[in-house]
Amino acid sequence: MSIELEIVLRILMAAALGSIIGYQRERAGKPAGLRTVILVCVGATLFTIASIYGFGVVADPSRVAAGIVIGIGFLGAGAIIRREGGPIEGLTTAATIWVMAAIGLATGAGLYIVSLVTTGIILIVLLLPHPIR
């Protein structure tokens, strides 16, 4: 398989995995729904692919991964809301954004089984009854 085809398949896989989690979030009426989650997952995948293949052998892909983790942390922090006198909201949304970036990184690095299993685990966690008592 050519490298270009494999890269396209990685991006398509990221979109598919993002759509699975994004669909669940959309159905739950959360602010980070289908489009947001797909964009985060595909974006992290593309950054990872570009860091692996785009800069030659002198590049360090782990630096881009570290940047994605930090950048997504800021995006996720924006999803957290604390209303005066009320509970903190948006923690699960922020965590979902963060883990979808991690799934995108793994997909971009070619860790397909890891990406699939992690997506399954995340879906199960998000479908658990809330709150568990």
Q: What is the pLDDT of residues 109-131, one digit of tens each?
A: 999 999 999 999 999 999 998 77
**Contact partners, residue 83, CB within 8 Å, separation at least 6:** 89
Q: Provide the domain limits for residue 19.
A: 3-127
| Mean pLDDT confidence for 2-27 | 96
Residue 120 has what pLDDT?
98
One-letter-per-residue 3-state SS of 81-119: EECCCCCEECHHHHHHHHHHHHHHHHHHCCCHHHHHHHH
Q: Is residue 118 in a domain?
A: yes
Q: What is the number of domains present in the chain?
A: 1
Q: What mean pLDDT comes out for the span 72-84?
A: 76
DSSP code of 74? H
DSSP bridge pairs for 89:
81
85/62 Cα distance (integer angstroms): 41
pLDDT class of 133 with cuts at 50, 70, 90: low
111 lies in some domain: yes
Residue 25 has pLDDT above 80, yes or no: yes
Inside any domain, residue 132: no
Does 86 fall in a domain? yes
pLDDT tops 80 at residue 20: yes
Whether 42 maps to a domain, the answer reads yes
